[in-house]
Amino acid sequence: MRALGSSLYQRLVIIIPYAWLLIFFLAPFLIVFRISLSTKALSVPPYDPSFAWADSFADWWDKLQTMSFDNYVWLTGDPLYMNAYIQSLQIAGISTLLTLIIAYPIAYGMAQAPRTIRPTLLMLVILPFWTSFLIRVYSWMSILSTTGLLNQLLMALGIIHEPLVILNTNTAVYIGMVYSYLPFMILPLYSALEKMDDTLIEAAQDLGCTRIGAFWRVTFPLSIPGVIAGCMLVFIPAVGEFVIPDLLGGSETLMIGKVLWTEFYSNTDWPLASAVATILLLVLVVPIVFFQHFQAKADEKGR
Amino acid sequence: MKSLGNIRRSFAPWSDPSAKPYISFKNVTKKFGDFTAVDNLSLDIYNREFFALLGASGCGKSTLLRMLAGFEQPTTGEIVLDGQNLAGTPPYRRPVNMMFQSYALFPHMSVEKNIAFGLRQDGMPKAEIDDRVAQMLKLVKLEQFAKRKPNQLSGGQRQRVALARSIAKRPKVLLLDEPLGALDKKLREETQFELMDLQQSLGLTFVVVTHDQEEAMTMADRIAVMSHGKVVQVATPAEIYEAPNCRFVADFIGDVNILDGNVTSAQSGIVEIAVDSALTLRTASSEAPAAGSRASLAIRPEKLRVTPRPPANASVNATEGEIWDIAYLGDMTVFHVKLKSGQVLKASSLNAVRAVEEPFAYDQNVWVSFDENAGVLLKD
């Protein structure tokens, strides 16, 4: 009886996250996927066919016949989309790397700080979240523009004589990305570094490592899970980022989020926009699934 | 000549005035802010010695070890190892290795990588590293666990990996911080003897920090008993036990009965002390305290005799009491005898035979007596 109760409880515990995924991830994805197989139409909703509960089975079958992968074929035909995907991955990749390089020393410093001031430091990292994301990106526009704070400062200091053109370039996008996603990198890194046993560093030094040697042979390898978590948390949303490239980027910045927006709102082409979104999801999910698969295999091997 | 503790020593460089110490702490003080962890301490340790630093937590023993390893710098004073002043030498350049209390094994490396860590750091050729690692694995009997990660090992196996890693570089001195603290009792006892054998066969100098007096007594050639940042007594285990130099050491090591009284006479190596009207002590002592001064005699429980009837000479070193508690421990029985004065003495007797004609009972009236050389006169 007790065994039955506990197994029922165990199943329930597993069912909850699966149900969550099903309702909030899989169902919307299937809706988007289904739209991506339709064609653009001047109707509400703006695609054809649309299914209704009142349809007979024959209607259903006819409508199903009209659905096709034409939108996906179209995506491969126009180099714009391919370029947008590649540039999105590139910008997200470089942003992630820059974020990692900046976040690691910050997280390391926080983890080395006296225990009493660590909560304060953590608070400071989270503090920017208290103001709207949009406001923060807008304020970067006023900092980076040709008449902005940065140029004024540099000119006043006599470092430059002509204002630098930063706003509406990819540089501004990188600055915005690194700034916006820094906390998402710092937090997992900090939690990995904070757990680190200091005696491991002492042991490494005792066995002949300098402080720097001990860092590279012990601290850094042990923080890899934090590095991976942080990179995922930054890279994945960065690929689909829309606001930052739209506000800070220029004509050279072609990111898939912006393409998606244009197809959806300017061209009212929901089916094509859905196809773009579906491909984006595959581009992101497939490598992660592969990574996890190999990770699990490596773990098993170590056992 | 009589020898303390029924042991004859062949290894005793500390009693040879011409022997040069291998490690010297010279007036070392270590302060952490206002707190003095080590207080103007001087100590000599000899080559190939198994030396134990024994004390309660916070007595400064770990700080002393950490200063030798180079993780802490003395505030004042100097540490000399094999003729070389260690001041300013970082941990990674010191010819000492440490076995950490928590073992501090690198969790991301296999057993063999852990052991090879220090060798790789020294840039030893790969073939030589492999040889040495194999040799170390054999020494600690972990050959079949070479590829495992530390979290796939038991506590005892981890302890062996930590040991192998710390001796792989053949340090001049091996420092052991509570090396057996995390093991259960049976494994701990086995490992004590293994450590002793290892130290003998490698010919290394071991400095071990421990709070476990039994561990220190078993393994060490000499023990330094520490308290509040100072060394209270440095001596062999037998000397520490049989001839403690103060009340603290007598009390800290093993069980002891301490009887306080006034000195009535002190001549020709015999001191007489009056405890009360019922008990007069007579003890052999090289010291001669002034008559009328206060003195204490420390007597170990096993040196007290408990008898149902008064001994032949009941006027000195004998008194009457009643059995208050009996603890039967198998190998011996411990009696708590309450004297007329209210003081409770602990007396233990070895259960050398299986059955006794006249067993003791609770509340029974008994006599407690001891020999002239059973106790140690303590200075206060």
Q: Does A205 touch chain B (CB under 8 A)?
A: yes
The pTM of this model reads 0.82
Alpha carbons A192 and B175: distance in angstroms, whole number = 30
User: Could A222 and B107 be called an inter-chain contact, meaning their C-beta atoms sit closer than 8 Å?
Assistant: yes
- What average pLDDT does the structure give for chain A? 89
Residue B4 included in any domain:
no
Question: Chain A residue with minimal CA distance to B145?
Answer: A303
Provide the 3-class DSSP secondary structure of residue B311. Answer: coil
User: Could B106 and A213 be called an inter-chain contact, meaning their C-beta atoms sit closer than 8 Å?
Assistant: no
| Burial category of B329 from C-beta neighbours within 10 Å (exposed 0-12, middle 13-18, buried 19 and up) | exposed
Give CA separation, B160 vs A14, B103, B180, B181, B283, in Å.
41, 9, 10, 13, 48
pLDDT of A189 above 50: yes
Q: Are residues B90 and B131 in the same domain?
A: yes
Task: Indicate which of B92, B100, B103, B120 best probes the interface with A, i.e. most A CBs within 10 Å of its own CB.
Answer: B92
Residue B1 included in any domain:
no
The CATH number given to whatever domain includes residue B295 is 2.40.50.140
Alpha carbons B12 and B2: distance in angstroms, whole number = 16
Bridge-partner residues for B99, per DSSP?
A: B176
A202-226 average pLDDT score = 94
Q: Are residues B23 and B169 in the same domain?
A: yes
Question: Chain A residue with minimal CA distance to B165?
Answer: A207
Task: Indicate which of B86, B97, B108 best probes the interface with A, i.e. most A CBs within 10 Å of its own CB.
Answer: B108
Residue B167 included in any domain:
yes
- Cβ-contact A250, A174 below 8 angstroms: no
pLDDT of A302 above 70: no
Domain end call among B232, B251, B270? B251
- Cβ-contact A140, A133 below 8 angstroms: no
Alpha carbons B345 and B166: distance in angstroms, whole number = 46
Alpha carbons B366 and B297: distance in angstroms, whole number = 21
3-state percent helix, strand, coil for chain A, nearest multiple of 5: 80, 0, 20
- With cut-offs at 50, 70 and 90, classify the pLDDT of residue A1: very low
The CATH number given to whatever domain includes residue B136 is 3.40.50.300
Q: Does A292 touch chain B (CB under 8 A)?
A: no
Structure tokens at A303: 């056992």
Q: Which residues of A touch B129 (CB under 8 A)?
A: none
- Name all domains of chain A by residue range, CATH numbers in brackets: 78-302 (1.10.3720.10)
Range of B170's domain?
Answer: 12-251
Residue B67 included in any domain:
yes
Q: Are residues B46 and B160 in the same domain?
A: yes
Query: How many Å is the maximal CA-CA distance in chain A?
Result: 82
Q: Are residues B24 and B80 in the same domain?
A: yes
User: Could B122 and A218 be called an inter-chain contact, meaning their C-beta atoms sit closer than 8 Å?
Assistant: no
Residue B23 included in any domain:
yes
Q: Which residues of A touch B107 (CB under 8 A)?
A: 222
Q: Which residues of B touch A213 (CB under 8 A)?
A: 92, 121
Digit-coded pLDDT (tens) for A110-144: 999 999 999 999 999 999 989 999 999 999 999 99
Task: Indicate which of B101, B106, B169, B174 best probes the interface with A, i.e. most A CBs within 10 Å of its own CB.
Answer: B106
- Length of chain A, in residues: 303
Question: Chain B residue with minimal CA distance to A210?
Answer: B92
Q: Are residues B208 and B220 in the same domain?
A: yes
Residue B354 included in any domain:
yes
Q: Are residues B247 and B271 in the same domain?
A: no
Q: How far is B51 from chain A (nearest CA, A)?
A: 20
Residue B6 included in any domain:
no
Q: Are residues B148 and B262 in the same domain?
A: no
pLDDT of A303 above 60: no
Residue B3 included in any domain:
no
Q: Are residues B349 and B217 in the same domain?
A: no
pLDDT for residue B380: 61
> How many domains does chain B divide into?
2
Digit-coded pLDDT (tens) for A15-69: 988 899 889 989 999 999 999 999 888 888 888 887 777 778 888 888 888 888 8
Q: Are residues B245 and B273 in the same domain?
A: no
- Tell me the pLDDT of chain B (380 aa) as tens digits: 577 877 777 888 998 889 999 999 999 999 999 999 999 999 999 999 999 999 999 899 999 999 999 999 999 999 999 999 999 899 999 999 999 999 999 999 999 999 999 999 999 999 999 999 999 999 999 999 999 999 999 999 999 999 999 999 999 999 999 998 888 888 888 889 989 999 998 899 999 999 999 999 999 999 999 999 999 999 999 999 999 999 999 999 999 999 999 898 888 788 989 988 888 898 988 888 888 888 899 999 999 999 998 988 888 899 999 999 999 999 999 999 999 889 999 999 999 999 888 889 999 999 999 998 899 998 66
User: Could B107 and A210 be called an inter-chain contact, meaning their C-beta atoms sit closer than 8 Å?
Assistant: no
Q: Which residues of B touch A204 (CB under 8 A)?
A: 106, 117
- With cut-offs at 50, 70 and 90, classify the pLDDT of residue A3: low
Q: Does A114 touch chain B (CB under 8 A)?
A: no
User: Could A302 and B118 be called an inter-chain contact, meaning their C-beta atoms sit closer than 8 Å?
Assistant: no
Domain end call among B251, B268, B298? B251
Residue A199 has its nearest CB partner, among B104, B122, B165, at B104
Q: How far apart are the first and last CA of chain A?
A: 35
Q: Which helix (H) or strand (E) holds A205?
A: helix A198-206
Domain end call among B235, B251, B267? B251
Residue A209 has its nearest CB partner, among B92, B96, B166, at B92
pLDDT for residue B378: 87
Question: Chain B residue with minimal CA distance to A202?
Answer: B71
Q: Are residues B283 and B243 in the same domain?
A: no
Structure tokens at A235: 């890279």
- Cβ-contact B104, B166 below 8 angstroms: no
Question: Chain A residue with minimal CA distance to B123?
Answer: A208
b/e sequence B62-94, b meaning 16+ C-beta within 10 Å = bbbbbbbbbbbebeebebbbeeeebeeeebbeb
Q: Are residues B129 and B214 in the same domain?
A: yes
Q: Are residues B301 and B373 in the same domain?
A: yes
User: Could A203 and B91 be called an inter-chain contact, meaning their C-beta atoms sit closer than 8 Å?
Assistant: no
Number of A–B residue contacts, CB under 8 Å = 60
User: Could A197 and B106 be called an inter-chain contact, meaning their C-beta atoms sit closer than 8 Å?
Assistant: no
